[in-house]
Every structure is written in structure tokens, then in C-alpha cells.
Chains A and B, each alone.
Chain A
């Protein structure tokens, strides 16, 4: 599997990365190099191997349903770029 420039452009867009044409060129080469390394994995017979979701062989610990967090909204608002009376403010988004 290898990526063309259009696909790399799309991936950059999805990740909200702004990269110019020459960077796309370079990224395409680099990404394809990585993909070709990963392609070697495809040669291993995995039909009877259970997919691994996590490298740690443990189960998720569960916590009791208890409210334990205090209201720290003032501290959080203080480090936000822009806030209103109680809201975080962002440039207008319209769907």
C-alpha cells in the first residue's frame, strides 16, 4: 500500500495541518517509507491470532459512580484564550 499526494493532502486536512506543496511531496515520500516498513507485518500469518487492543495484558479498572470533582471553573476559565461570563468563547461556528 502506498499513498499518493492527494491522499496525503486529505490526511493533512483531516488533522487540520497546514502544509505547503513541497512539504506534501516530502511527507508523501516519508509516509510511504514508513508504510513499506509496516507492510512487512503483512507477511506474518495472523489468522489464528487474537487482535491486540492494548499492549498491557490487563483489564480496565472500573471506578464507583461517585461525584468527586469540585467546581474549578474559575481556574479553568482563567487559562482559556477567551471567555464570556461563564462560557468558553471560540470563533463563530455555523453549521
Chain B
């Protein structure tokens, strides 16, 4: 039977404010346990939450970036459940009127097209503390440092039809929140978390199947794997005549399986009601205009500009804008006067390969944008060939100095002395009589052989264009 997969994502994006959403405690990651949990975060009696202005700003930035309906009047609600890392017995969240309403974002499909994914809403809420179960034998340990950290939960429509599509969407949101500076996107530290609602239905059916909510996914790779393994599980159940149960399932990356997390149905009745401790949030038109004007160039806008102004291909432009840090690096090179297309090749080629291999983020690259642009300029002005440049790049990566010093000290400058190159070529022609005859008899492919010989004799320092020209002259 042919099945269709339906996926919606809930993304929890930790807003990178200095202080918490409702208190003045620090949000800095990695502090000693409980040293950043104040009376408000701990839910001690007599405290009142006061909303952080920057949190509202950031939610609005996101809303405007996805062309969403902004609810200029929104309310906070209590989501009630009991768990030790939730000291108040409720989480302050938004339910009926979230600050960000319906919006949408375009993603590229595998077939090379564009697909619009709907965003149902994005609401503000506080994070819970952290439970640690393996620290003490008979107890669970709680660290409340994370309690009260601001989150923007971004809920998508069930518009994705494959695990790949879901990952593309998640990456797009991941890039966007970093572009607009509201989240650091660090998935290891839990700043950006994805839950996936997955269901399947018979192809052609309009009715949604029963969904499972997948949690505990901390990388894009696992997001794809978790969804695919869940699709398989649901197919097996339905094809055996069974029924999928609506539930939350944890993804286990080690076993590559999902397993049921909560069996008690009661766990899902949160009894939301408006939080009497917080007044409605009203956004003035002025504040909205101010934020709109302060938004930076968004990924899609940047991509389109790279295509129309710089003349990059759609593919190059997409790759270079997928990550804000990479786009920043590239643009810094252009500002330094490096040639655009060549720079694009180097950023996506040698640089990205080296960064991936060493698992370094581009902002921590041992070769700065300025240094790489120096290298690209030396190729453009024919000081070195592209091939030699790769060796220089390796030396730079190792920290062997600046471009010009490396070129100088290792004698890598391209040979421009025509007479010297001619001498070498004459020698090669004299030593390869057989090949010369074949070439003259019409085997023009042998030109590459001669070029190779010259490059070898000059240790790659001859200018290939020049060599080609001289060879053609001498052999014809």
C-alpha cells in the first residue's frame, strides 16, 4: 500500500537574552548548578513575574521575518502539570492568543523547486529546570538554572511530506533565528530543540492519521533518522491491521528507535487558563515599526541579492546564505576586494572542507576572511596558480604565516619569464619526440600531457594559460 507521511514541527528556540523571561537572573550557559535560579525562578511564595522587554522584541523580530500576523494584544497562560523541575506546578506559556500568529516560510525542495511551509504560531514561554537522574542513587537531582529561560516555540503546519523536507525546514528556521540574532542555534547545549509530530495516511486520503510526537532530538541528523524510523514503525502497525496510538515518543539515538514516553492519558490535560500574575501584552505600532526597520537582510533577500548583484548561481547563493556566519565571512571577503565568484568557490570548496574535516565553525576558522581574500587576490592577479594556492591554503591553515610571506619564503610565485618557460618547453619537446609526432598527426589530446610535463618541471609555478599558448605555438 502507498502511504503518505505528514510531519509538523515544534521548534523550541532559546532566546539569547541576558536575563530570564520573568526575572533578573542570568541565563548564561554552564554556570554552577542553581547559582542562577532566583526566587521567581524557584517559584517561592510572594514573587511576581515581570516580563523582559527584549524577549518581546525578539518574538516580534521572528514574527516580522516570517511575515506573520502579529497579535498586538497577547496574553500569557498557565500550563498546569506536576514535575519536579517545574517548581510552580505550572509553566507560564501562551495559549489562546500567542504573540505571533500565522506566517510562512519558503524552503527549497529536493526537486529544485520552492515550497511554502505554514507557520501556525509562535508563542513565548519559560523553560523548566533540568532533572538529572544518574547523579544520586535514590534521588533525582534538580538544577533550576535553566528555569525561566525564555523560549520561543515555533509551531509549523503539518506541511512536510518527508523526513528530508522536515530537516530542510528546521535548518531554514535555524538559520533565520541566527540571522535575526534571537538565538545562538546551539543544538548541543539545547538552545534549539525540535519535536516532530509524525503521522501517515493512505495516499490520496485527506484525513490526517493519528500522530506520534517525537522528542529528545538534538541534531538534524537525528531528526531525519527519528522521523524515518517512526514512519516505518507506523507503517508496520497499520499494515498489520493495528492502530497507531497518539502519544509522546522518545528517540533513542544509540538504538535508533523511538519508544513510548508517557502512557498515562492524564498527563496531557494541562488545564490552561490566563495567568492572573501577568497583564495582557500590548504592542504599540511604533515599537513594531522600529523593530521592522531594525531587521537585518534576511537569508532569502541576501540570496536574491547574491544572484542579481554578484551574479552567483542559485546553488552557490543558497549555500553561502544557509548559515549567517558563512555569509558574513563571504561578505567580509568581498568587502576586502576579493573577486566574487572565485571567493565563493574557495569558501564553499577548500575552506568548508577544511572546517568540516576539523569540525570547526566558520567563526572560529584559523584563516580569517581577510587572509583568505588575500589568497584569492593573489590568484586573480596571477601571482600564483589555483593549484599552488591550495598548498598556500594548507600552510595558512597550519598557521605558517600570511599569504605573501608563504608565497615568498617557499618560492611559489608564478613564473612570468617567457624565455625561461620556453627553454623548459623546448627541453620537453626534445625529450618526447614520439609524443610530438603523434600530436602532429592529430592526437591533440596529448596537449594535456605536455602541459602536465611543464607543470611538473616548474613545480606548478608556470602559468597554465601561458604554457598552453607557447606549446600550441611550438607544436603547430
Inter-chain contact A82/B139, CB cutoff 8 Å: yes
Q: Is there a chain B Cβ closer than 8 Å to A41's Cβ? A: no
CB B138 to nearest CB in A, in angstroms, measures: 6
CB A94 to nearest CB in B, in angstroms, measures: 7
Inter-chain contact A54/B142, CB cutoff 8 Å: no
Inter-chain contact B278/A60, CB cutoff 8 Å: yes
Please report which residues of chain B, range 94-133, place their CB below 8 angstroms from some CB of chain A when the two chains form the complex.
96-97, 131-133
Inter-chain contact B24/A53, CB cutoff 8 Å: no
Q: Give which listed residue, A51, A62, A93, contacts B133 with CB less than 8 A.
A: A93
The interface residues of chain B lying within 8 Å CB-to-CB of A54 are 75, 274, 276, 278-280
A61 and B266 CA atoms in complex are apart in Å by: 36
Query: Nearest CB to that of B130 among chain A residues?
Result: A87
A95 and B269 CA atoms in complex are apart in Å by: 17
Inter-chain contact A59/B139, CB cutoff 8 Å: no
A83 and B18 CA atoms in complex are apart in Å by: 28
Instruction: Say what secondary structure dominates the interface of chain A.
Output: loop
Most buried by B among A64, A72, A86, A87: A87
A51 and B273 CA atoms in complex are apart in Å by: 13
The interface residues of chain B lying within 8 Å CB-to-CB of A91 are 138-140
CB A35 to nearest CB in B, in angstroms, measures: 15
Query: Nearest CB to that of A79 among chain B residues?
Result: B44
The interface residues of chain B lying within 8 Å CB-to-CB of A87 are 33-34, 132, 135-136, 141-143
Inter-chain contact B136/A95, CB cutoff 8 Å: no
Inter-chain contact A60/B279, CB cutoff 8 Å: yes
Size class of the contact patch on chain A = 35 or more
CB B28 to nearest CB in A, in angstroms, measures: 9
The interface residues of chain A lying within 8 Å CB-to-CB of B282 are 59-60
Q: Is there a chain A Cβ closer than 8 Å to B25's Cβ? A: yes
Inter-chain contact A59/B140, CB cutoff 8 Å: no
Q: A65-B17, A66-B19, A77-B34 are in contact. Are A88 and B280 (CB under 8 A)?
A: no
Q: Mark A65-95, 1 if CB is under 8 A from B, else 0.
A: 1111101110011000010101111111111
A54 and B39 CA atoms in complex are apart in Å by: 24
Inter-chain contact B132/A58, CB cutoff 8 Å: no
CB A23 to nearest CB in B, in angstroms, measures: 19
13 other A-B residue contacts (CB within 8 Å) besides A60-B278, A88-B142: A53-B97, A53-B274, A54-B274, A54-B279, A65-B55, A66-B24, A69-B38, A77-B34, A87-B132, A88-B141, A89-B141, A89-B142, A90-B139
> What 7 pairs between A and B have smallest CB-CB spacing?
A68-B24, A87-B141, A65-B54, A62-B53, A59-B282, A69-B38, A86-B33
